[in-house]
Amino acid sequence: MLPTPKKYFLTAASAEGKSKLTAFDNALLKARIGNVNLIRVSSILPPEARLDEELEIPPGSLVPTAYGSIVSDVPGETICAAVAVGLSEDSFGVIMEFSGKCTKDEAEEIIKGMVREAFETRGKPLTEIKVAAVQHKVEKLACAFAAVPLWY
């Protein structure tokens, strides 16, 4: 059984690369999680988890991470990735991820709407939404990436 994460942070970054995978890797590096192994998870933030914006995760660690990403090789195209954490005073939180061909402002509105819907569906009070988003205009081949890494 895996332990329940106690810390998290939100991050978003974009980068160019010579291949789709290196563009993704370069975005991870800029997002401060390029030297860990991501374990993609769905969208629940544990009740005890606290935001730690200065969190440093040891290289090589297996890191539960909710994330959205998009890669494009269309020069001039605008791509975006966003994550949001919805918080409730007395319960767990909800994490939502988004990526698409839009502006950062559009992505932020979409992701906030997703969080609101998740709380409405669960019948839980929403007290706060935290968002991280990035927009990138593709030069040659690029990745936009946003994530909520969870840690112990």
For 3-59, give the DSSP string: PPP-EE--EEEEEE-SSHHHHHHHHHHHTT-TTSEEEE--SEE-TT-EE-TT--PPT
How many CB atoms are closer than 10 A to CB 55? 16
At 2, the amino acid letter reads L
Catalytic residue among 14, 26, 43, 69: 43
Q: Give yes or no for a contact between 143 and 69, defined as CB atoms under 8 angstroms apart.
A: yes
Catalytic residue among 26, 69, 72, 97: 97
Catalytic residue among 19, 37, 77, 120: 37
Catalytic residue among 42, 53, 54, 89: 42
Does the active-site annotation cover 35? no
Does the active-site annotation cover 99? no
Does the active-site annotation cover 91? no
Does the active-site annotation cover 97? yes
Q: Report, as residue numbers or ranges, the catalytic residues.
A: 37, 42-43, 97
